[in-house]
Chain A
Amino acid sequence: MNDIGPIFRALLHNKLGALLIALQIALTLAIVTNAMFIIQQRAADIARPTGLDEPNTGLFMTTLFDTNLDQMQVMRDDLEALRSIPGVLAAIPTNSVPASGSGWGDGLYVDPKQPSNESTSFGNFMADEQGLEAFGLELVAGRNFEPEDMVRMSLEEGNDDPRVMLVSQALADTLFPDGDALGKTVFNEVGGKSPRQIIGIYDHMQKAWPTSRDIDQTALQPIYMLFGGAMYVLRTEPGQLPRVMTAAEEYLSKNRSRVIDNSRTFEEQKRRTYSGDIAMVKLLTAVIVVLGGITGLGIVGLAWFSVTQRRKQIGTRRALGATRWDVMRYFLIEIGLIAGAGLVVGVIGTIGLNWFLDTNYEIGRIPLWYLPAGVAVMWLIAQLAVFEPARRASNIPPALATRSV
């Protein structure tokens, strides 16, 4: 390592070239580390389980536009037909699904005297006795809905209020921190109105909006919604979804008074809902890859030039007894010094950029371990970039020293 002194002094002669590379490395580190951090966060958001049996769930949004139809009868027929398609485990009419970006939010009161701002928020989903099965939920306590729990909600008729509900473990724990939620009565409206008894607790299901607070607080209510159409959720045996989707679509389009607004798998729906995050992940990944490449190629280009310019000098060094490895090591140490300086600045830049982005756009603080990881990766890129030019340099013959061209 006693080479460092002379290499360092030689560097000072080409200040600008070294400075440019160091600055590039610094900026690249700052960008790549922050981008990596954002990617990591978004990916983690996307990867959160929704609670559903994601790969085996399909969705149909339908509209009935003939107001003379008996909507309850149509729905009964639909359910009977959908449930009889081979491969279907369960089918329900509902209002919404998790990760769809569109649904119902509502509040629950433990005490009739609680004011409206003290309600516990929850994602409100409609389901019948196949709800747990269709959403792929596990009942951890209590019982499922039974046909006599079901009520109807429609625009025209007077509406019955359901008397029971199923809640997620997270909602049960928030409402009743002592863990005795089962069997308790809560109120769906302020002032002790719309009482519901908690008859069962299921493991976990998300609200409809990915950015919600308390995203795990959800509940199922035993309601058939007759609002001129329905969202049908179908859950199939593994691998049966494509076939079931086709069969279900064929059946649903038989009714000429119905329009299928869209039919998509749950995974497709989730991709759409998270499209902003997925796009961010893809764009930032592209930024990282391209930036690494540009910086790497830039270093290769400059190293190449520097080797070409120093051919004579390198030949002379070889003639004076430097081994190939000595020559290579010269270039590796040189880039090491430059990258080192750049990375020191880069760490400060990374923290600064993160501070800026966090202050203005609330991206969060980068965990400390990102810094050494980023530094190590950039260091490696710099060394790899200079490797081939350095190898070329080490192949310059000592005889070059005596040649005049």
Chain B
Amino acid sequence: MFSYYLRLALASIRRTPVLSALMVLALGLGIGAFMTTLTVYYLMSGNPIPHKSDVLYAVQLDNWDPNEPPTESAHDVQPQLTYRDGNTLMQADTPALRQVHMYGTGAIVVPEDETPPFDESVRATWYTFFEMFDVPFLYGQPWTLDDDEARASVVVIGRELNDTLFNGENSVGRSIQLDDQFYQVVGVIDHWQPVPRFYHADGTYRALADTEQVFVPMNRAIDVQWGPRGNTNCWKPMDESLPLFEGFIRSECVFTQFWAELETPEQAAAYKDYLDNYVRGQKEIGRFERPLNTFISNVMEWMDVNRIVQDDNRVLVRLSFLFLLVCVLNTVGLLMAKFMGKGGEVALRRAMGASRRHVFQQNLVEVGLLGLLGGIAGTGLAWLGLRAVEAMYQGYQHLVHLDAVMLLTAIGVAAVFAILAGMYPVWRVSRLQPAGLLKTQ
């Protein structure tokens, strides 16, 4: 019967092309708009590292100006650390399984051939970064603790940069020039793009920005005086007796990110205690004049603390849902109009022995078909919508990658809303009394 109903549905759609097109368009636009905003929201609020998000913790210490009002939630505390605190913790024997201390910076890559030098974002970090964040390696491996301690000129590069500089060959053991110095390649990582890019939050966060293509030991970056590219916040003047960079890294300015890997709640509690004790110790030498305020937040809590999903996203999701609702109401109205015009045919089929269930199924198939067409149109429109969003926003390069999930969701949403829209008209039309409608035509 299904194929028969499908044939009838197609015939019926062909009979009222304008009305049908209007319904498909309305559903398609509603679903397209909703899916677009929902996809952005879903990407922003997604878990960038599902298998480890519970054991990775971002660290916050409140070293801020004692004159500022006290803070209570993690959101009010600086999301970054001073270099000196991070560096001390990094080298301390803490209860954490691993820790990483890092900051975002940049350098000029000078190719060996005659192609012009170009600027690259650089992550200055520790060897633990790659293991903690599960970074996939194409060639080689991370540098070692020895390299960090020796402040070695080693580098891990990304696949795209490796393609540019070495035509994608295994470049381990070769060197690249950053600014005016050479760095030996120890590893090449595969394409790696956590969405959102959770590991770097500095308050001016571009959640969907590209990951860096250059990773160097943090100690090395400090030695060559690469300044931070991200947000830097200071409240206390630097020591003017020191050279500027020296003064900067010893200052109370915050510009580094710090993460700890803590496997159990007990470990997390012990680590928190450790941080509190560290701060108490610092208080004794006159730092950390504010109330004790340390926070550790796992990945999803960190997303929330940093308000990764912007209010604009949420407003758009809400509005586009209402938009979809209008489109569904619109479709219900048009379906009612269309189906009420079918009274004659329904009565005839009933006289020929069709049961209510037959009529219901027949029209449900038609509604389902319209829903499917609406869903397809909606998916297409959502794709265009995401392209438009990508073009309009800075740093939204990774939106259209997750099509499979999106496609299924779009079609699911379309089906649900088409059936919601169609259920009542279909029910109504199946309740039409066969008698009486046959006389007049």
By a beta-carbon cutoff of 8 Å, the part of chain A in contact with chain B is 16-17, 20-21, 23-24, 27-28, 30-31, 34-35, 38, 63, 65-68, 101-102, 115-118, 153-159, 189-190, 193-194, 227, 253, 259, 261, 272, 275-276, 278-280, 282-284, 287, 290-291, 294-295, 297-298, 301-302, 305-306, 308-309, 353, 356-357, 360-363, 405
> CB-CB < 8 A to B310: which residues of A?
276
- Known contacts: A278-B392, A305-B337. The answer to whether A193 contacts B330 by CB under 8 A is no
The minimal Cβ–Cβ distance linking A274 to chain B, given in whole angstroms, is 10
7 additional A-B residue pairs with CB within 8 Å, beyond A360-B314, A363-B315: A17-B336, A20-B332, A259-B118, A282-B392, A290-B29, A295-B330, A301-B19
Nearest-CB distance from A219 to chain B (Å)? 17
Judging by beta carbons under 8 Å apart, are B333 and A17 in contact?
Answer: yes
Q: How far is the CB of B228 from chain A (nearest CB, A)?
A: 12
Q: List 5 A-B contacts (CB under 8 A).
A: A20-B329, A24-B330, A68-B180, A115-B67, A305-B340
Q: Which 3 A-B pairs have the closest CB atoms?
A: A279-B392, A117-B67, A305-B337
Q: How far is the CA of A353 from the CA of B315 in the complex (A)?
A: 11
- A35 vs B326: C-alpha distance when bound (angstroms): 15
Partner of A279, one of B320, B340, B393: B393
Any A CB within 8 A of the CB of B93: no
**CB neighbours of A276 from chain B (8 A):** 310, 312, 393-394
| Closest CB in chain A relative to B58 CB, distance in Å | 23
Chain B's interface size range is: 35 or more
- The reply to whether A272 and B333 contact each other, CB–CB distance below 8 Å, is no
Q: Which residues of B contact A (CB under 8 A)?
A: 19, 22, 25-26, 29-30, 33, 65, 67-68, 107-108, 110, 116-119, 179-180, 204, 225, 227, 235-237, 240, 243-245, 310-312, 314-316, 318-320, 322-323, 325-327, 329-330, 332-334, 336-338, 340-341, 388-389, 392-394, 441
Q: Contact: B394 with A275, CB < 8 Å? A: yes
The distance in angstroms between the C-alpha atoms of A67 and B236, with both chains bound, is: 29
Verify B333–A20 contact, CB threshold 8 A: yes
The 8 Å CB contact of A287, one of B26, B108, B320, is B320
Smallest CB-CB separation from A62: which chain B residue? B119
Q: Decide: A65 and B179 in contact? CB cutoff 8 A.
A: yes
B332 contacts across to A, CB distance below 8 A: 20
Residues on the A chain within 8 Å of B330, using CB: 20, 24, 294-295, 297-298
Q: By CB atoms of chain B within 10 A, which of A65, A67, A363 has the most? A: A65
The dominant DSSP class at the A interface is: helix
Residues of B within 8 A of A189 (CB): 237
Bound form: Cα–Cα A294–B332 in Å: 13
Contact for B394 among A24, A157, A272, A302, CB less than 8 A: A272
**CB–CB B235/A155 < 8 A:** no
Residue in B225, B245, B333, B388 whose CB lies within 8 Å of A301: B333
Bound form: Cα–Cα A137–B225 in Å: 35
Chain B residues with CB under 8 Å of A34's CB are 319
Query: Are B315 and A357 neighbours in the complex by a CB distance under 8 Å?
Result: yes
Contact A301 B334 (CB under 8 A): yes
Complex: A284 Cα to B389 Cα, angstroms: 12
Q: Inside 8 A of B225's CB, which chain A residues have their CB?
A: 155
Instruction: Please tell me if the beta carbons of B118 and A405 are within 8 angstroms of each other in the complex.
Output: no
CA distance A248 to B427 in the complex (A): 72
Q: Is the CB of B336 within 8 A of A16?
A: yes
Distance from B144 Cβ to chain A, minimum over Cβ atoms (Å) = 28
Q: Is the CB of A275 within 8 A of B392?
A: yes
Q: Is there contact, CB below 8 Å, between B322 and A31?
A: yes
Contact of A23 among B227, B316, B329 (CB under 8 A): B329
Q: Taking A38-B315, A259-B118, A361-B311 as contacts, is the C-beta distance between A155 and B322 under 8 angstroms?
A: no
Task: From the candidates A117, A287, A298, A305, name the one contacting B319 in the complex (CB within 8 A).
Answer: A287
Among A68, A159, A291, A362, point to the contact of B323 (Cβ < 8 A): A291
Chain B positions within 8 Å of A294 at CB level = 25-26, 29-30, 326-327, 330
Q: A27 contacts which of B108, B329, B333 (Cβ < 8 Å)?
A: B329
Which B residues are in CB contact (< 8 Å) with A353?
322
CB B87 to nearest CB in A, in angstroms, measures 19
Known contacts A20-B332, A272-B394, A287-B320; decide if A261 and B245 are in contact (CB<8 Å). no
Instruction: Knowing A116-B236, A189-B237, A287-B319 are in contact, say whether A65-B180 is a contact too (CB < 8 A).
Output: yes
The reply to whether B325 and A297 contact each other, CB–CB distance below 8 Å, is: no
How far, in angstroms, from A141 to B320 measured CA to CA in the complex? 52
Q: Is the pair B334, A302 in contact by a Cβ cutoff of 8 Å?
A: yes
Q: How far is the CA of A291 from the CA of B338 in the complex (A)?
A: 22
CB-CB under 8 A from B337, the residues of chain A are: 17, 301-302, 305-306
Report yes or no: A63 in contact with B326, Cβ–Cβ below 8 A: no
Question: How close is A251's CB to chain B, nearest CB, in angstroms?
Answer: 15
Q: How far is the CA of A107 from the CA of B201 in the complex (A)?
A: 24
Which chain B residues lie closer than 8 Å to A23 at the CB level?
329
Alpha-carbon distance A398/B240, docked complex (angstroms): 97
- Minimum CB–CB distance from A359 to chain B (whole Å) comes to 12
Q: CA separation between A311 and B110, bound complex, in Å?
A: 79
A65/B327 contact (C-beta < 8 A), A20-B336, A115-B67, A279-B389 known: no
- Does B68 contact A24, Cβ atoms closer than 8 Å? no
On chain A, the residues within 8 Å of B325 by CB distance are 27
In the complex, what residues of B have CB within 8 A of residue A279's CB? 389, 392-393
Please report the C-alpha to C-alpha distance between residue A117 and residue B179 in the assembled complex, in whole angstroms: 39
Minimum CB–CB distance for A287 against chain B, Å: 6
Answer whether A361 and B314 are a contact pair too, CB < 8 Å, given A28-B326, A301-B19. Answer: yes
The distance in angstroms between the C-alpha atoms of A115 and B69, with both chains bound, is: 13
Q: Note all chain B residues with C-beta closer than 8 A to A117.
A: 65, 67-68
Q: A154–B244 contact, CB under 8 A? A: yes
Complex-state Cα separation, A322 to B329, whole angstroms: 34
Question: Which residues of the other chain, B, contact A159 by a CB distance below 8 angstroms?
Answer: 240, 244
Contacts of B110 in A (CB 8 A): 65
Chain A residues near B326: list those with CB within 8 A: 24, 27-28, 31, 291, 294-295
Within the assembled complex, what's the spacing in Å between the Cα atoms of A356 and B314?
12
Chain B residues lying within 8 Å of A27, measured Cβ to Cβ, are 322, 325-326, 329
Cβ contact within 8 Å between A156 and B314: no
Which single residue of chain B is at the shortest CB-CB distance from A253?
Answer: B116
- Distance (whole angstroms) from the CB of A405 to the closest CB of chain B: 7
B67–A116 touching, CB < 8 Å? yes
> Which residues of the other chain, A, contact B25 by a CB distance below 8 angstroms?
294
User: Which residues in B have their C-beta under 8 angstroms from that of A157?
Assistant: 243
Given known A17-B333, A35-B319, A101-B204, contact A297–B22 (CB-CB < 8 A): yes
Q: Name the contact of A67 in the complex, choosing from B179, B244, B340 (C-beta under 8 A).
A: B179
Query: Are A65 and B108 closer than 8 Å at their CB atoms?
Result: yes
Q: Among A275, A291, A297, which residue has the most Cβ atoms of chain B within 10 A?
A: A291
| Chain B contacts for A67, CB-based, 8 A | 179-180
Chain A residues with CB below 8 A from B311, complex form: 360-362
